Structure formats: structure tokens, C-alpha cells
Structure 1
Amino acid sequence: MGPTDDTIRRLDEGLGEAALDPSRWGAVLAMVSGLVGGDGAMLLQSHQRAPGVPCTPEIDDLVADYFRHGWHMRDLRTRAVPRVMRGEVVTDHDILTGEEMARAPFYNELLVPHGYHWFAVAGFHAGAEHWAVSVQRKARRGPFAAEQVRPLAGLARRLGQAATLSEALGRAALDGTLRGLDQVAQAALALDGSGRIVGANARAEALLDAAFRISDGVLRVADPRARDEIAALAQALQSRRPFAAGPVLVPRPDRRPLVLRVLPLAEAARSPFLGASALLTITDLEAERRPDPTLLAQVFGLTAAEARLAAFLAAGASLEEAANALGIAVGTARSQIKAVFAKTGTGRQGALVALLGAPGLW
């Protein structure tokens, strides 16, 4: 017997919640698993598999080992992909013989130690990408019967509708985050759970060159040490364990280095179907940075002329350089800087520069 109308209604309600809140996908998958007689379920992209996929709590450890030990790169069950993409529901016996399963390391070294053996899988689209819902079953319960898993195709179509909405909402949130960082002059890249780049803002794209570039979704740098540190960062993201990554310096010929820092991404932008899980901010030490003169005038009660001079000094210019850039006499600049010292409570240029370096003034 297939799912009842009431069951479908509750599933649709759960899918609506999951489209808005990625943390709800586990509960939805538990419903799907229960409807076809499974003991847990997970979502997998058909052609590119990376950690961080939604799953039910019962198979957390199984999924962790699947990625940690590289089974996702030697998964016998990928034989099902062509049939799944044609809309079929596929089980173990559709793609493997009993003898193959009995001797396969995938079963003996991954599934059996966790108590699992059987699966049923059906596909769906999330935007342009093809995904699959893979329902797992304990070894002791025996294989899925065809009539049990037949409803999975219809359930997968419902998953696809919610997944497409989730991907669109996640993309909008991610694009908004990257555009917002553009507005505050912060270059940034969005990374997925394997360290691949899934988004970049305009300021980050402007920094790309032969020594700092993106190729096939991977950040590639010329400096060997920076390259190793970026690779270690990607491995940390793949492991999904907490880590405190320090800044990565990317040297550049004849220019000051770039400084890379990784930050967690806001939950709203972390749709599993988009894949973004972290931001990599980029600071260009070569770029001229100067506080906003209008804001300095408001905060410290400076005149417009005093604020313009203070902004040049905060950016590292000498008094003579600032006077020349502003088209005023050095004597005039000295008079103005005395007024700036008095109004800001500083008595020397070094203290003034330190004060005006506060993040909120830039």
C-alpha cells in the first residue's frame, strides 16, 4: 500500500520547512525512509559527491565513514546512476549479483560493520543538478521488495521540488552576502564542503591573475607554501570537524601579499543543494585603504578640511605627502593637524593613525 493522503500532506509540510531551513532535511528523510521500510536515508549528488550531505541521524556514522575513508570514490552502487537518471527506482539486486556483494570491500568493510547492507535509490533534480535519495536498510531485515520501494519515485519528485526551491533561496542568500561584502570593500569567495569555489564577488574576481586564479572550481596559487595551506584548509572542510585556521599569506611578484581568512557561512546561505559552507575573505595589502572623511568629521567634530587630511594620514601618507595630494601648503597642514590632535585626544601622528584604524571608520 502506498503513502496515504495524510502522510503526503505531512511530508509536503516538512519539505516546505526544509526548503527554508536546511537543518530540517534530516526529519524529511526520516519520513521518506519510513514510508518505504528503510532504516535511514541520505541525499547524494549523482556525479560529484562531497561531505556535508543531509542524512538521518541513524546513519550519521556510516555517512561519515563513507566520505572519511574515500568510499565515495569507489562506490559500487554508482552503477545505478544511469538507470536512476532515467527515472527508475534501483535496488542492490538490480545492479549487483549476490556473489559480487559477498566479496565486495564496499559491503564487507563499510556497510556490514555498521549493520547495513541493502539500499533503494531514486533520482530528482535540484535546479540544474541531478541528485538521488538513497534509503539504507539493515542487513538482518533482508533486501527491499519491489512493491515496497515503488513509491520512492513519486517521493523523489516531491524532494526535487523542495530541493529546487532550497537551491534558489540559498543562491539568493549567498549572492546577497557576496554583494554585501563588495559594498564594504571586502573581496570574498564562497567554498563548498570540499573546498571548491561556488561563488565569488566582484572584488575577488578583480584580484585574479596568473599567480592567484580559479581553475575548474579550484583556487590555484603559484606559491608552494600557500598552495599547501590552501589544500590543508580544503581537507579540514571535507572532514567537517571544528578547526581554527589561521590566515594564509599568498606572496605575489613585485607586490604585497594577499591575506586569506576562512569564515563560517550564515545558515541561510548553506543550502545543501548549493553546497556553500564557508567564506574565504581576501585582503589585498597593496590596495590603498582610507577612512571615510565624512564619518571622521561626524565622529570627531572635524572640519571637512581637517577630516580629509586625517584620512590621508590614516592611510599612511606623511604630512608633506598629504598636503601635496590635497593641494595645500605644508604650513596649513600643520595647523590643521594640531586641531585634529586636539579634537581626537591624540598628541602625535602614530596615535592618530592607530585611533583612525578602528574597523568602523573604514
Structure 2
Amino acid sequence: MGKPPMEDDDLVDRIYEAGAVPDLWPSVLERLGDLAKVAGTVLFAIRGEAAHWTASPGLHEMSRGYFEGGYPGHDDRTARLLAYDHPGFVTDLDVFSREEWEADPIRREFFVPRGFGWGVATGIKVPTGDLLIFHGERRLEDGPVERQVVERLDLLRPHLARAALMSARIAFERAQGAVAALEMVGIPAAVLGPRGAAIATNSMLEALTPSVVQSRPTRLALANLRADEMLSTALEAAEAGLHTGPVRSIPIPAGNDSPAMVAHILPIRASAREVFTGAAAVLLMTPVTLRELPDATVIQGLFDLTPAEARIARALGGGMTIGQIASSTGASAATVRNQVQAVFGKTGMHRQADLVGLLQGLVPTASAPIPPSRLPPRK
């Protein structure tokens, strides 16, 4: 392999530095974009259904839209890059005819409206089974990437491959380490991507598959349809940065082989994001196995209730009527009714008998209908 031009020596140093300190990748990708004369560069690592990505600042928002819009799963550009199986960088015109590329649906639908349309990329398959892809995107008016640019990038490719492999392992292992740590304290857990794909799961969660949790082609799901609807809505809200609205503590009725459970969604924010942007939330599963009613503070924590709502929930679970609760608390019956409705809304229950069953870990009454979701419609 030839030695990179002298002006690239510092970039090679920065590449290896980012391998050990992955937070430096955006600035490295920006410098790589300058060298390639593109608007920005994205690096993504794929393992099964899970993907981590990071991008230079100028390409961050476009990359976010691409990954969260579900484009990777049906992008012929990436498929052709991998099928071409070239140990170096390639341009669009290496894997498409010009007519094919200009007619490509994703190019016309996603890239061109954003002012892009020409790229250069390389795919790196590593022995662990992970796939690493570096992709630079050029402005439409700047035309295809030139051959001399590709040749210069090829000199950097071995350094990029080694450094990115190290970072990808850190990212995947960090996710796995988080759920493994939760397993040590007895909590089934998973790290989820923005669209609900499981990036990492621990064995306790896997033991709940498929009776409680199900692995679908695009995301992790809950077997109970009502609970799964709430999970999907909660993930959308978490990724959008909403702090109020959809329930994030989701009740799951007991089944033949599993107790009633509560699924908690914990959004990952700011510096808690992983090395490669990709983790949106942590899913925790809390079994409800008590045969006596939990303390009000436990109920409050399980369902995001206010202290007053938690006391109402426990009283309902103990069989008290609205009139009895009003008398014991000194509140009006109207106030108690409002609090009862809030409790039902946050727990996903509709009748007092269902709430009792949930809190005691019993199978809810079969005849009890679950009302249509009052959550905002899914986008």
C-alpha cells in the first residue's frame, strides 16, 4: 500500500484517535468529506437488524432522516455496493449506469429533494460479522465524484477499517453491557433503536420470547396487541423528545406461562446516546408477582402516577368504591372520579376488576373490554 500524501498524515492520526475515542468521529468524517469534496460523510455499523451511525455535522440531519425513515432496508444503492464487493471506494456510476442512477426511486424521492445526488462509498465486512460502511454525499450540482478522489480515499481505507471496527465494537459492547448489568439485578431488558429494533437484549428478556416479547423483522414487539400499540407510540414520543403524553409504563396482562408485567420505556438523551447514534431507548420489564397489593409508592413508580393517583389506585385495588375513597380522603366524589379516570388512562385498564388483577398479578377478567386507544394516532 502506498503512503498517503503528506497532508493526509494528520488525518490518519485523527482516524486512529477516533477509533479509541469514538466521540471524535464527526470531526474526522468532516475532514474526510473535505478531502473527498463532498458535503458530508456518514459511518454506519450493522449487526443483524441493529445499526449504529454517526455523521459529519453537515450530513447529520439528512442521515437522521434516512435511517429513521427506514430507507436502508430498501436502498438499492447499498445493495449494489455490497454486491460489487470491491475492496475500495466506489461511486454511483461504478454500480449503476447513469440512466439507472438518475431514475433510482430513492435518489429521486430522498436525495434530490435535499440537494444531493452523487456519492462515494465503501463497504467493509469484518470477521465478527459486522458490516461497516463509509458513505460520502455530494451536492447535485457538483456532479459525480472523480476517479482521483476515489484513489486518494483508497489509500485511507485500511486505516478507516481498523479504526471503525474498534469503535463499532465499543458501541455494540456498550449496549450489551448495559442490558447484562441489568440482568445482574434481575431485570429483563433491551436497548432499542429509534424504530424499535433490538440493538441488544439480555437472556432474561430472551426467556420471555415469544410469550411476552416477540422479535419481528423490523422491531421488537409485545405479544399483547394493546400493549404493543402503546409501546410503538411510546417509542415515537421518546425519539421525538416528548416528555408528556403517551404512557411509558405499559401494563401487560398475565398469560398462561407468565405473570402480569409492566414494560417501562426509558428514553436515551444527549450524552447518554451511544458512540454511534442509534440507541433511542431502554426497555425494562417488571414482573408483577405480588399476591398482596403493592405499596402506593411502588404503584406510583410502576405507572408514572402522581402520589394522589397512586393512593387512589391502591384503594381501588383493595376493593374500595369511589364513595368510600372520597370519605376516607376528604375529597369530593367528582375529584375522585377524575383521579380514577387518570389512573385508568395511565395503566391502560378500563374496569376496577382489571386493575385489581393487574396489581395482584392475576389474569384480567376475560369479558373486560379494552377501550380503543386514546393516544394520538400513529404517524
Q: Under a length normalisation based on structure 2, what TM-score does the superposition of the two structures give? A: 0.64
Equivalents in 2 of 1:103, 1:269: separation in Å?
37
Distance 1:140 1:48, change over 3 A: farther
Deviation at 1:83, TM superposition (A): 4.7
> What is aligned with 1:98?
98
Asked if 1:59 is matched to 2:47, the reply is: no
Query: Residue deviations 1:66-95, cap 9 Å, x none?
Result: 345444344231343235533142212122
Q: Unaligned regions of 5+ residues in structure 2, if any?
A: 293-379
TM-aligned CA deviation for residue 225 of structure 1:
0.1
1:96 and 1:209 map into 2 onto residues whose CA distance is: 42
Partners of 1:68 and 1:171 lie apart in 2 by 19
Rounded to whole Å, the distance in 1 between the matches of 2:250 and 2:14 is 44
Query: Paired residues, what number?
Result: 285
CA contact (8 A) 1:187 1:281 kept: yes
* Mapped partners of 1:194, 1:268: distance in 2: 18
Which of 288, 306, 309 is the matching residue for 1:285? 288
Closer, same or farther: CA 16–92 of 1 in aligned 2, 3 Å = same
1:253 corresponds to which residue? 255
* CA separation of 1:147 and 1:48: change in aligned 2, threshold 3 A: farther
Over the residues paired in the alignment, what is the CA RMSD in angstroms? 3.5
Indicate the structure (1 or 2) with the bigger Cα radius of gyration.
Answer: 1
Partner of 1:112 in structure 2? 112
Task: Find the aligned partners of 2:222 and 2:64 in 1 and give their Cα distance.
Answer: 30
On the 8 A contact 2:11/2:28 being kept in 1, the answer is no
Tell me, yes or no, if the aligned pair for 2:188 and 2:286 is still in contact at 8 Å.
yes
| Distance (Å, rounded) in 2 between the aligned partners of 1:154 and 1:83 | 22
Q: Secondary structure at the match of 1:211?
A: coil
Alpha-carbon distance in structure 1 between the residues aligned to 2:99 and 2:178: 52
Distance (Å, rounded) in 2 between the aligned partners of 1:203 and 1:219: 15
Distance 1:142 1:2 in 2: 28
Give CA deviations for 1:25-82 in whole Å, capped at 9, x if unaligned.
Answer: 2111111111222221112457978776211222233323434544434423134323
State the SS of the aligned residue for 1:26.
Answer: helix
Q: Does the CA-based 8 Å contact 2:39-2:138 persist in structure 1?
A: yes
Aligned residue for 1:53, secondary structure, equals strand
Which whole-Å deviations, capped at 9, do the CAs of 1:4-27 have from their partners, x for residues lacking one?
Answer: 345233333344235433x32211
Contact map agreement 2:68 2:194 (CA 8 A) in 1: no
Answer yes or no: is the 8 Å Cα contact 1:11–1:28 preserved in 2.
Answer: no
Corresponding residue to 1:263 among 249, 262, 266:
266
Alignment of 1:151-300 (within 5 A): 151-206=152-207, 208=208, 210-215=210-215, 218-235=219-236, 240-244=239-243, 246-253=248-255, 256-265=259-268, 270-272=274-276, 275-286=278-289
Counterpart in the other structure of 1:41: 41
* Deviation for aligned residue 1:145: 1.3
CA distance in 1, matches of 2:203, 2:83: 41
Distance 1:48 1:283, change over 3 A: closer
How far apart are 1:205 and its partner, in Å? 4.1
Aligned residue for 2:200, secondary structure, equals strand
Q: Which residue of 1 aligns with 2:31?
A: 31
Instruction: Go from structure 1 to structure 2 and tell me whether the alpha carbon gap of 1:94 and 1:6 turns closer, same or farther (over 3 Å shift).
Output: closer
- Distance verdict in 2 for CA 1:97–1:188, change over 3 Å: same
1:72 corresponds in structure 2 to 72
The secondary structure found in structure 1 opposite 2:196 is: coil
Q: Tell me the alpha carbon deviations over residues 132-182 of structure 1, each in whole angstroms, 9 at most, x when there is no partner.
A: 111111122221111111132342332221222223333443344334323
Q: CA deviation at 1:226?
A: 0.8
Matches of 1:141 and 1:177, distance apart in 2: 44
Separation in structure 1 between the aligned mates of residue 47 and residue 186 of structure 2, nearest angstrom: 36
Task: Determine the structure 1 residue equivalent to 2:376.
Answer: none
